[in-house]
Chain A
């Protein structure tokens, strides 16, 4: 198995840019996905294959990768973006989620 490491929490002011990182050696070889989970709701896929957005996900959400780190960027953060965010990667034998990052919009 492998591990993905995220910061436990990130804070941002409304309208500013939030950056959430996800690090792990597996990210050098495999794609990362990102999920948003609002309180009491099921997760929502917001980024797949490192950089792609599913239909309906706002353009302010973007993904990137460099080396062993995947990054989720939320531009012009809104109050409704306050949620937990999880990265995910997989290989032939396992799927791993990061520990999650709680985004607080102050």
Chain B
């Protein structure tokens, strides 16, 4: 069974940093593209970042230069390092596995709240 379990969310002050993790199991992690997607309270889904099999990464303009996606294939773990956080980064952050060009599997999400 494919499982994605996010962790690392919490409350952080504006300008602060946080690192999210996504533990993957039930599939060969190194063979798949992975995404981070967020959802602000009561709002829609917004893509944040993608990392390919070879480690190439792409970002939404709103987080470029502040967030870094990475993967540890030996540990089957996806990361999102978030720096210089802003109030508008408050959201539930989901990790997702891309299959066939769609995000087939999703975690349960971890809540990040940026507040002073």
Which A residues are within 8 Å of any B CB, using their own CB? Answer: 1, 31, 33, 35, 37, 42-45, 47-49, 52, 54, 84, 86, 88, 90, 92-100
Contact = CB atoms under 8 A, between A and B. Distances in A.
Contacts of A43: 37, 45, 94, 96, 103, 106
Contact of A93 (B45, B46, B58): B58
Interface residues of B, number: 22
Interface of B: 35, 37, 44-47, 50, 58, 60-61, 94, 96, 99-104, 106-109
Contact of B47 (A31, A42, A95): A95
Contacts of A97: 37, 44-47
A12 to B, nearest CB: 20
Nearest to A1: B61
